[in-house]
Structure 1
Amino acid sequence: MEAVHVGILSIIPPVIAIALALITKEVVFSLLLGIMSGTIIYSIAAGMGFVGIFSVTADLMISKVSDNASMVIFLAMLGALVAVITRAGGSRAYGNWASRKLKTRRSAAAATGLLGILIFVDDYFNCLTVGTVMKPVTDRHHLSREKLAFIIDATAAPVCIIAPISSWAASVISYYPGEGTMGGMQAFISSIPMNLYAVLMIFMVFWMALRKNGDFGPMARAQRLAEERGDAHFEDSNTIDNELTKLKVAEKGKVWDLVVPVVFLVIFAVLSMLYYGGYWDGEGKSLFDAFGDTDAGYALSLGGFGALFVAFFLFVPRKLMTFREFFATVTAGVKSMVPALIILALAWTISGVCRDLLSTGPYVAGVVERSNLPVAFIPAIMFVIAAFLSFATGTSWGTFGILIPITVAVCEIVAPHLSVITLSSVLAGSVFGDHCSPISDTTILSSTGAGCDHIAHVETQIPYALTVAAVCFVGYIIAGFTAVLGFGVSVAITTPVSLAMLIAALLVLPKIMPGKPKTA
């Protein structure tokens, strides 16, 4: 299927999907309507008949699911692993142990954030692993599932985008043009200090985790309800837990029944990433090159199979469950992932509608190129463009591919002193959209990993993300004007001022947005 150029009509599908998801709370229905609107526009523009609408939709969906088949397998394996660990009593035993070590809700939230930072290699891996490990602990301290999902999401993409050894770093470098004054790796590392969204969001995670009564807006309401109910989530939420609550939990489970499978999951996944990246091919590849060349989906799938294999020999011989019960539990775990997999398949499809059919990215990029931007405002405006594009399409990597080459080319010509700052702003804006868009895969996986209703996660997280984004916008204006003093001086001015603005906002917002209960 050859892409068509339909101008402003190209943004209709994501607008429909996002608006309807937030209004109706029905994310599957909203994504389907967004996809259908896009394929209708494409079919009309391409001169196809009525039947073409359905054939294009089916072909695109099959293509996108096929492209991500290894990730589907990994998610199914992870659902199975979570289920067998739960049935073996590992989650309950770990929760009991961690509750004795982490005695307060704030310490549990901070520990979750710290674990999220430590797992920086891949955002998918981060979202689901952190949720699996920390959910029993945060539940015991009545930390709302919405708050847990926020912490997971905010330490996934924002951490990966400032980690030189990660799948995200490899993606950025692959999109960086070969020509210019610096190479891709040097540009990526140079961009880290000025990646305001990532730096400020990580700061916000620990501020919110450690500060008493620091929440505001819908998150404050969700946390208050969790404390009043003595439960972390609504019983009717459409979450992974609904299937797993039916499992009979073994009484003899130990802490290592959770720790050992998760540790082997990490080990197998990392070793598989190195293997698929050609680290042991005898070509002298560095660790970074291997991570950059790997197929994360295949590696994570292999890691999931390996961890499930270890779990079998850890649980069945000790009679925590029988052979038959183990595989019945595996089936239940895979079933628990079906709602998330449906949403992911639709999110991948609507991303394909925007990128492969309607050329949404090139349209937005063309608007940027045709505008006469004041030089000092280029970083701030590129931040907004990247944020809008990634939020609308649900993909930061797609936004990287569209905007990084444009950014480098424009800055090399009109403002070389802004090259690194503008690259940072594009990366920051792209992460914003990936972090909070309801059609972003990492947003979906964060709500899945936390066992939180997806739209509830989106609604509670957006005010936090917008707060940081607003500070970033002002910060990049400051950076644009101070860049003439040198990059180091600009960082020294911009980062502290931005941090001070964020702290001021976080002190004021809980007072003006206390998160009042919804009226009937």
Structure 2
Amino acid sequence: MHAYWLSIVPFIVVIPIAIITKQVLPALALGLVVGSYLYSPHWIGGIQAAVNFVITALVEKSNIEIILFLYIFTGLVGMMKQTGGIKGFVKWSAEHVKTKKQALFLIWISILGTFSSPSFRMVTIGPIMRALIDKVNISAKELGYVIETTGTPIIALIPVATAFVGYMTSIINVSLKNNHITGDPYLLFIHSIPYNFFSFSIILLGIYFGFFHHDRKKVKHTAIPENEVQAKAKGWEDCHPVVAKELPAKSINLLVPLILVIVLTLLLTYISGVKHGGSGFQTFIKADVLNAMLVALIISTFLAFFFYLIQRFRLTDLMNAFFEGANNLMTVVALLSIVWGLSLVTNKLGFATFVTRHVSWIPPAFTPPVLFILGAMISYFIGSSWGTWGILMPLGVAMAHTSGASLPVIVGAVFASGAFGTFSSPLSDDTNTMAGVLDLEAVSYAHYKLKSGLIAAGVSAIGYLLVSFIH
């Protein structure tokens, strides 16, 4: 009898290694290699198999589109920085916001222009808020908290024009294929959005703590050498590289490209949906959204180049800024490639069959809350929502397929579990980016956020249990 249990060995390797080392990429890479040697047990066969699995994943059309979208988008953000678009927005906002309510309102309204990715949002709105700490009656930790509750939790719910939607759709697609389930991954993502209970819970808590509650608990300021520049900077200028003194301040260079990307994405998505026979809201469901987003982004990037050249920015500087920004994403490209490869090798080892044979005893009603709690623990210890989603989504879809649990609820629970770690973990990029911009000590700041994170997680777990009984 085939040893299907071998298919879980890569996950048994990945999870503890990621937790112990606090590094997702090496853990996933080791899991891929281990799985590949189990599939091809020869001294060089395992490495060859690992390479082949990654290449097979990379040549798939949707995966290439995701990588291109992320690479080009971060390159465009690099040009926005170089041409002073981000700095201009920061300067204008810092000069016009006078009160705490105005500051909080700006944080929320700025979602309209910075929803594309959490890191982009933080480096845009964070320096503005840093300049206002001494100007309005609000603390750095409260500002960071509100910014983060309007970051990943909201962006994970937006189905178009974000750096998340391509990746989220991709791992759903891979998981469906591994379990031989026919379905539209993007449509499943849309249906899962109402079940991302953690995002909704933490957003509501963010509104309460931001506007109606004042916490006087102290959060330590950083003494880490790499943050000394930020700590010594006065006001908003030079507190982050995107607002360096040598850069111009032209907010139009941020707004025009962003508006182009959003408008063209919606337009091309609609056109694609019409071509595929959609009408009304079904137009956006039937569309090839990822392709529309990529084409819209490419057109917007070309137009942005011309827009900046007209302002007499040097082409060489623009190209350098584009590739410097885009190349910062190579770690994410590597992460995606290994996640896709790992998913393929575990599928070849019979992961879906193993789950079918060994977890059918779990009541369907308990599958979503158990997955959420497991994912929340993993994401807290590794500090990565994307890493958690890549590890847990294949397991979640397989368990849903076996137990009969609702697939949208399961997918929503997996995405919610990753959002918990990104918000609450002292290891997450969001926590450390926000702490760096606002001159806070990351561990102390993360501890400050943990209470509300646990409240939202508790509400979410109960919600999954109740919804599962209803389904």
TM above 0.5: yes
Change (3 A) 1:200 1:247: closer
1:59 matches 2:55 = no
Secondary structure at 1:370 match in 2: coil
The share of aligned pairs that are identical, in percent, is 18
Task: Find the counterpart in structure 1 of residue 382 from structure 2.
Answer: none
**Candidates 37, 45, 48, aligned match of 1:40:** 37
CA distance in 2, matches of 1:242, 1:348: 37
CA distance in 2, matches of 1:432, 1:151: 15
- What are the equivalent positions in structure 2 for 1:384-463 lying under 5 Å apart? 384-385=370-371, 388=374, 394=390, 398=394, 401-406=397-402, 410=404, 425-436=409-420
Return the offset for 1:345: 2.8
2:17 partner letter: L
CA distance in 2, matches of 1:431, 1:17: 19
1:331 matches 2:323 = yes
Change (3 A) 1:427 1:104: farther
1:314 matches 2:313 = no
Q: Is the 8 A contact 1:198 1:428 kept in 2?
A: no
- What are the equivalent positions in structure 2 for 1:329-408 lying under 5 Å apart? 329-354=321-346, 356-371=347-362, 373=363, 378-385=364-371, 388=374, 394=390, 398=394, 401-406=397-402
What are the ranges of 5 or more consecutive residues in structure 2 without an aligned counterpart? 134-139, 177-184, 233-237, 379-387
Return the offset for 1:95: 0.5
What are the ranges of 5 or more consecutive residues in structure 1 without an aligned counterpart? 176-183, 236-240, 412-421, 488-520
Task: Find the counterpart in structure 1 of residue 14 from structure 2.
Answer: 17
Task: Find the counterpart in structure 1 of residue 151 from structure 2.
Answer: 152
Task: Find the counterpart in structure 1 of residue 260 from structure 2.
Answer: 264
Change (3 A) 1:289 1:303: same
CA distance in 2, matches of 1:256, 1:25: 40
The one-character-per-residue Cα deviations of 1:82-105 (angstroms, maximum 9, x if unpaired) are: 111111111111001122444567
Return the offset for 1:58: 0.5
Task: Find the counterpart in structure 2 of residue 473 from structure 1.
Answer: 461
TM-score, normalising length from structure 1?
0.63
Return the offset for 1:150: 6.1
CA distance in 2, matches of 1:450, 1:271: 34
Change (3 A) 1:33 1:400: closer
Task: Find the counterpart in structure 2 of residue 493 from structure 1.
Answer: none
Return the offset for 1:425: 4.3
CA distance in 2, matches of 1:369, 1:274: 41
Q: Is the 8 A contact 1:261 1:308 kept in 2?
A: yes
Change (3 A) 1:117 1:331: closer
2:371 partner letter: I
Return the offset for 1:318: 1.7
Return the offset for 1:77: 1.3
CA distance in 2, matches of 1:244, 1:357: 45
Secondary structure at 2:300 match in 1: helix
Change (3 A) 1:101 1:255: same
Q: Is the 8 A contact 2:153 2:203 kept in 1?
A: yes
Task: Find the counterpart in structure 1 of residue 383 from structure 2.
Answer: none
1:303 matches 2:296 = yes
CA distance in 2, matches of 1:37, 1:234: 44
Change (3 A) 1:227 1:332: closer
CA distance in 2, matches of 1:188, 1:19: 28
2:4 partner letter: V
Change (3 A) 1:149 1:156: same
Task: Find the counterpart in structure 1 of residue 86 from structure 2.
Answer: 91
- CA-atom RMSD, angstroms? 5.1
1:385 partner letter: L
Return the offset for 1:448: 11
Return the offset for 1:154: 1.3
The one-character-per-residue Cα deviations of 1:266-321 (angstroms, maximum 9, x if unpaired) are: 1222223334x342x2x6412543433444443332222222222222222222x2
Return the offset for 1:255: 1.7
Task: Find the counterpart in structure 2 of residue 416 from structure 1.
Answer: none
Return the offset for 1:264: 0.6
